[in-house]
Structure 1
Amino acid sequence: MNTEKVSEYIINWLKEYATKANVNGFVVGVSGGIDSALTSTLCAKTGLKTLCVEMPIHQAASQVSRAKEHIKQLKNRFENVSEVRVDLTATFENFKSEVPVVEDTAKVDLSLANTRARLRMTSLYYLAGIHGLLVAGTGNKVEDFGVGFYTKYGDGGVDLSPIADLMKSEVYELAAYLGVPNSIQKAAPTDGLFGDSRTDEDQIGASYDELEWAMKKQNEGKTADEFSGRNLEVFKIYTRLNRINQHKMVPIPVCEIPDELQ
């Protein structure tokens, strides 16, 4: 990948889109992870207002420190970058106290994890509304179009997606080129939605390098019977997630009423 030309292309794309939309710039949720770090850096390089938002909910100290380090670095590099911290922990706890309690703890844990993402989305759109900004998505190609590893109407609820055509490996390439802090480049990817130390690989069962391989093989028309061992296991993980998460990747189905019934 030609990192210089790709970064320039994305920056120009962001700037042109914002100009046509007649907005002031972008708001980005900064988590301390590589995707949000790259996205916020690209937005900052447009020269337009870039609001970086930290939204902890029982967040691990390491994630908080990386987010703060990145935002501080961006503010030192770009005059158009500002920040705000919205601690959603109390809001999240209040939500938990109001919703019905059920016995299926696995379903509760997953629903609450998705709730964290949706509370953050709501906060970003509040800030976008009062400052005249667009919500910039932070999903990469493997997450958004491969395994659907994001929350519908959570981190998937955005106005535009500047890095969604980049594989995770390309995200790292571009992040290194643009000077994202080393602490973020070296950190294991995690969505931080469960309040523990589990990584993306722990949840998915495969690394991003493996998922990229499987995505490529599926796009080439390969099938499971062509693989064995770990390759077969990874391919099955990828194709299963790709299948069950299609509801996130395709347009919302609309019940169209036949003309003769109207």
Structure 2
Amino acid sequence: MLNIIKVLVKSSFRVGMFLVLFFYFAPKTPLLAYDVIPVKRGGELFGSIKFMGEPPPNRSHQVLNNPEFCGSAVLEETTLVNPENHGLKNVVISIEKIERGKKPLLSSLVLENRHCHFVPHVQMGMVGSSYEIRNSDPVLHNTHLYTESVTLVNVAMPASGNNIRKTIVKKGIINAKCDAHKFMQGWIFVSDNPYGAVTDQDGNYRISDIPPGKYKIGIWHESLPLQEKEVVISPEKETELSIKFPVR
């Protein structure tokens, strides 16, 4: 009888430890499904995002830590407008609810601490892809990634230290900050499909190989109201979607 009790206790302990480890390491949300298929007679979405009028000024921050390297003051990269054509940089254009289509261009992203900035400032990722955090500076950074106030990564990044690699398991917007340099900020916009783009310095974007159909388009910028539009993508044709901020 005593031997039976010992066996039951050992079995219960093993099961309990398995459940603890499973729930600790399992993703909070299952990876979303997306099927890669040949896109026949796909269309394209293109356009430009502009900021008309006087854009809000980017704030200047006094540097308290490592001013000998970072400089005495650093200017934000929040609103970058090309003065020649009003093009707005770092706007994310995302097509929603596409479950089948082209192969993602990138399976791995890089978030680099470079000269006391996150580079790139804004980028797009996809559920299931990975990202690598690097420090190219000769100073200590502390990279802190979170979404909806939930910390995803909080790690000290010494000069010439090891890179950190993580996998993206949930769609949403990841905010990057440095706890050692409060002015540093970056963004990773995570989608569940590869149909998205970030506007360039002229405010332009282009998304190709889109399966024909009617879609909802999200237009996101870190400091401006989210916009949503509907478009119809026709086979082997270009469709233009351009936006001017402020939206009236």
| TM-score, L = length of structure 1 | 0.21
**TM-score (normalised: structure 2):** 0.22
Quick check: which one's strand share is greater? 2
Larger RCO: 1 or 2 (CA < 8 Å, sep 6+)? 2
Which is greater in Rg?
2
